[in-house]
Structure 1
């Protein structure tokens, strides 16, 4: 189930329509465990690449390079017409690829996506050596602060206090803020599913509403009592919304195909 392609590490499970899961800046493959367990049983192939957030040269540490990485990865594993599912920075990457490569992208699912506006650590890590401060900032990502386990907080604390990782995290955060996609969204013609936490403080509800307004073929779904990472905080609700949307989307595609025969 785990693979290396060149220097690229990824997880793959199941067969069928491909779902490419893209994690966020402080996230990882484990953020999508619930989806990895569920969708292969329903006739989907789930693929989760590990994004090289801290492995690129500093001058290439930006969201544009990450989008090129994912595009190259999809070409290397011969995946086309995939559904890209992105959280936070991962959603931003998905939108960039969808804009340029309709051959690779069948549809997009955004959850807490950057690309318009996001509240993050910003341009510096104040009090980065203060564990309680990092714990508080980590808890703010979720509606239920208990989701920010000690293990998760420890991981974030380690990243921001590792000199190389901390600098690269800031470079990526600045890159995401700089590359605002408001003028690009009308060009994205693939179907888009927006699944948003009503209590998301990082990319607030008005961000989801603006995405919905600017994306021509989008649907907006809310999850209550939920923060910035719905697939972790409410995995069952997230999966229920996503499965129904995918089923309807694929059904419509088949109906349109047979109507042209």
Structure 2
């Protein structure tokens, strides 16, 4: 199944279903299609939103998890989302970790899958050492 990619104000994203928001963040090498089965499974009970992270569109020197986390925050503000369940895979999980640390008031829960940032100190030392967050 293929989902329509919407484009608004510099954001590209998939938005399917209604209800509690599940915001999916893809990994570095993962495409939007990696979440296809998740979208199909949950779009009947949730509003599933998958923004395309601008990993390859940003200048290399400024591309990192903090910059991508700021992008996610701008997207959440633009879409006026609250009480978000954030799901991140790989790089998307690392971005989700940083987002949860800086904007916990926007989240209901954080779910990580194969998240970078859990065991390494990559992308500028943004690893949240010694902190466990349960939202």
Q: Which has the higher strand share?
A: 2
Which ranges of 4 or more aligned residues in structure 1 deviate by more than 2 Å? Answer: none
Q: Which residue of 1 aligns with 2:28?
A: 25
1:2 aligns with 2:17: no
Q: CA deviation at 1:59?
A: 2.3
Q: Which residue of 2 aligns with 1:51?
A: 53
Q: State the TM-score, normalized to the length of structure 1.
A: 0.48
Q: Which residue of 2 aligns with 1:14?
A: 17
In structure 1, the residue corresponding to 2:116 is in which secondary structure? coil
Q: Which residue of 1 aligns with 2:67?
A: 65
1:111 aligns with 2:113: yes
Q: CA deviation at 1:179?
A: 2.3
Q: Which has the higher helix share?
A: 1
In structure 2, the residue corresponding to 1:103 is in which secondary structure? helix
Q: Which residue of 2 aligns with 1:194?
A: none
2-structure distance, mates of 1:174, 1:100: 18
1:195-217 per-residue CA deviation (whole Å, 9 max, x = no partner) reads: xxxxxxxxxxxxxxxxxxxxxxx
2-structure distance, mates of 1:87, 1:71: 17
Aligned-pair RMSD on alpha carbons? 1.7
1-structure distance, mates of 2:96, 2:34: 17
Q: Which residue of 2 aligns with 1:34?
A: 37
Q: How many residues align?
A: 132
1:120-142 per-residue CA deviation (whole Å, 9 max, x = no partner) reads: xxxxxxxxxxxxxxxxxxxxxxx
Q: State the TM-score, normalized to the length of structure 2.
A: 0.90
Name the structure, 1 or 2, with higher relative contact order (CA <8 Å, separation 6+). 2
Question: Which runs of no fewer than 5 residues in structure 1 stay unpaired?
Answer: 119-172, 191-261
Question: Which runs of no fewer than 5 residues in structure 2 stay unpaired?
Answer: none
Q: Which residue of 2 aligns with 1:241?
A: none
1-structure distance, mates of 2:77, 2:134: 21
1:182 aligns with 2:129: yes
1:186-240 per-residue CA deviation (whole Å, 9 max, x = no partner) reads: 3x341xxxxxxxxxxxxxxxxxxxxxxxxxxxxxxxxxxxxxxxxxxxxxxxxxx
Alpha-carbon contact 2:98-2:126 (below 8 Å) kept:
no
1-structure distance, mates of 2:77, 2:8: 11
Q: CA deviation at 1:108?
A: 0.8
